[in-house]
Structure 1
Amino acid sequence: MGRRDYEDDPNAPVANSLVPAASVVVVDDVGRVLLQRRRDNGMWALPGGGMRIGESLPDCAVRETKEETGMDVEVVGIVGTYTNPRHVFAYDDGEVRQEFSVCFLARPLAGRLAVSDESTDVRWFEPGKIDELPMVPSIRKRLNDWRSGDTPALR
């Protein structure tokens, strides 16, 4: 399913859905960050996705990271909350989702990098190399917030 991101775009479609979601900045012991190349838009992104009934948001972060990258992780902090009502995701099936995401900080525990049905590539990147990668502004903001240490609770 394709997805298009709209942020502060007056031509964006109106949201018809709100789904709690988690994204995850996974940092290994040498300071590299884990990113996946999304199948739906071709952009590099953090692992993450929508929360399921019966799970906590940190559990969602762990599950989504495993599903999308092959890595088992432990949540160790929060980068920030991202709830911009002017940021929506339009999906091919007609859903237009308003952003509602908590971005967690995690460390890898085990696993082997693996692509999924949602990704075409999964890699570790030196923080200085991520500026060159194509990604949507909201993901770049999370990564910049993590790198700068600017992690107030509300966004």
Structure 2
Amino acid sequence: MSILELRKLWGNRPLIAAAVGVLIQDETGRVLLQRRGDDGLWGEPGGALEPGEDFLAGARRELLEETGLVCPDLTLLPLPDGLQSGPELFHRYPNGHEIYIVGMRAHGTLPASALEQAQPDDSGETLELRWFALNDLPPLSNNANRQSLSVLRARLGLPPLPLEPTPPAPPVGNHLMALRNRVGPRPLFAPGANVLVTDGRDRLLLLRHGGTGKWTVPGGSLEPGESFEDCARRELLEETGLRAEALEPLQMFAGPRHRFTYPHGDVVDNVSVLYRAHDVTGPLTPQAGEVLEVGWFGADELPAEEELSGTLIVDNLRVWKGGQGT
């Protein structure tokens, strides 16, 4: 379901919005910003993903809709600069809708003259487009824009932009389940994080999940206001009793390949960051009811693909196998 469809059932209460921001720079390093139709302030082009859409496709679509421009070299920023999540990315729109923005940033270049061909759509989202120097920015719409532009400012040795205060994040509950109770089995975005944990013999920890009966890695869904890394830490502790001194982000997974249907019929569009755990401590204590079995697997001992919990886990394990010996 799109976020606008969810609003009809959820009201103004906070939702987690899987979104992409688009950072376009010209030949002098200036950044392209839009003056927004909702609050009259400035920000990067971008917006929420459509169901089944990956981040790069979403970035291209949002750029075209909000500027009328196509950027041939548009790519996603590498992790961690490309990631956006956390309690500071709360935003309340003028109409009262509340969101926590999570997702990715894309970056590309266009000549300054491209602005002469800009033609935003007729939605009213874009009032004006203009190039700005990174050391001379206009009033910005929200913290997501401030953080994104701070990524670019850091490349020039400029300090990060100060963030506006935000309310405390809600207590951890089960946000996805609460949404399910309203929407039934229809597809929902499920932003979250998974964790690769290995032992001293370079074997990977896998869990057999109680809900699917399939093998998976530790991980789960974000709660409102939670960062991807905080989600990874929480899920690792809840499902295994283990703690990681450091978590290294490896890759973001999203798009139609990572739609998953549970045995009972619920459908999710996974938007998941894969982390590698370093300096893991604690006794391995599987979560009762959630985890049926645990196992340590070498690269040539992994379960068959049909025994894994969907294409997200298949691709997680491919990343792990591809990194063996590095």
TM-score band w.r.t. shorter chain: 0.7 to 0.9
Structure-2 residue corresponding to 1:70: 241
Structure-2 residue corresponding to 1:137: 311
CA deviation profile, 1:86-118 (whole Å, cap 9, x unmatched): 432334776421111111111352222222221
Higher RCO, 1 vs 2 (CA within 8 Å, ≥6 residues apart): 1
Query: What is the total number of aligned residue pairs between the two structures?
Result: 138
C-alpha contact 2:219 2:232 (8 A) present in aligned 1: yes
1:123 aligns with 2:295: yes
TM-score (norm 2): 0.38
Structure-2 residue corresponding to 1:26: 197
Equivalent positions of 1:7-46 (< 5 A) are: 16-46=187-217
State the distance in 2 between where 1:81 and 1:141 align: 11
Which deviates more from structure 2 when the two are superposed, residues 44-53 or residues 21-30? Answer: 21-30
Structure-2 residue corresponding to 1:113: 284
| Partner SS, residue 256 of structure 2 | coil
Q: Any gaps of 5 or more consecutive residues in structure 2?
A: 1-184
The structure having more radius of gyration, on CA atoms, is: 2
C-alpha contact 1:26 1:108 (8 A) present in aligned 2: no
C-alpha contact 2:212 2:262 (8 A) present in aligned 1: no
C-alpha contact 2:258 2:311 (8 A) present in aligned 1: no
State the distance in 1 between where 2:277 and 2:210 align: 23
State the distance in 1 between where 2:303 and 2:262 align: 26
Q: Any gaps of 5 or more consecutive residues in structure 1?
A: 1-13, 151-155
Tell me: CA distance 1:86–1:142, structure 2 relative to 1, closer, same or farther (3 Å). closer
State the distance in 2 between where 1:122 and 1:92 align: 21
Structure-2 residue corresponding to 1:79: 250
- More strand as a share of residues: 1
State the distance in 2 between where 1:92 and 1:132 align: 19
% identical aligned pairs: 34
Q: CA deviation at 1:15?
A: 5.0
C-alpha contact 1:36 1:46 (8 A) present in aligned 2: yes
Q: CA deviation at 1:119?
A: 0.9
C-alpha contact 1:49 1:64 (8 A) present in aligned 2: yes
C-alpha contact 1:27 1:108 (8 A) present in aligned 2: no
Q: CA deviation at 1:24?
A: 0.8
